Amino acid sequence: MRSLFRFPNPVNEVSARLVAGGVVFQCVAFIAFRQWWQLIPLAYGFVARVLTGPTLSPLGQFVTCVVTPRLHVPEKLVAGSPKRFAQGMGATMSLGAAASWAADVHWLAIVLVAGITVAATLESVFAICLGCIAFARLMRWGVIPDTVCESCNDITARLTEASRSAASVRVPATR
């Protein structure tokens, strides 16, 4: 059984990219309509995903339970720690946008949400995760110890385990 406050590792990149697409939609809506309340679900989603992955995130639940299973595309497993770091960056920026809006510094809120929009668009459209790139650099510089993300360095053991798990699951024959 999975702990509630545990970020998944590995992460299905297909789902991560779809969640990023939902974030792009939320950000564009905020930039277009500039309603302060739109920052609440944006910030909540990032904080929820940092804490629990998709478990407490309505967008994460929708993507992982409804959208991804209906796509019938193979999973692409990637390390969880860099994705969690990226969600943390989004949480920081979205909470900063909410605080900026509350402090009547609307231009800063818009700039922060525009930054999230760029990052989420790169992730959803091109599979370029800026948070993951920053995470890798911080590891290379020794700011983040290698032990935080051993699977980032060598995912072969995790992939072998995943393939064994997939092979042990029997798929019913279709007619």
**Cβ 8 vs Cβ 150: under 8 Å:** no
Average of pLDDT values for 128-152?
89
Does the pLDDT at position 93 exceed 90? yes
Q: What is the pLDDT of residue 128?
A: 97
**Cβ 128 vs Cβ 122: under 8 Å:** yes
Integer CA distances (angstroms), 11 to 67, 136, 152, in order: 15, 16, 12
CA distance 175 to 168: 22
Quote the pTM value: 0.85
Q: What is the pLDDT of residue 175?
A: 44
**Cβ 43 vs Cβ 97: under 8 Å:** yes
- In 3D space, the residue among 82, 78, 80, 77 whose CA is nearest the CA of residue 144 turns out to be 82
Query: Quick one: CA torsion of 102, 28, 134, 71, rounded to 10 degrees?
Result: 130
DSSP code, position 136: H
> In the structure encoding, which two tokens stand for residue 88, read together?
């943390």
pLDDT band for 154, please (50, 70, 90 cuts): low
Integer CA distances (angstroms), 156 to 103, 122, 167, in order: 48, 26, 16
11-12 and 77-78 strand pairing? antiparallel
DSSP code, position 142: T
What single-letter amino acid sits at 76? K
pLDDT band for 169, please (50, 70, 90 cuts): very low
Does the pLDDT at position 69 exceed 80? yes
Render pLDDT for 4-48 as a digit per residue (tens, 0 to 9).
778 999 999 999 999 999 999 999 999 999 999 999 999 999 999
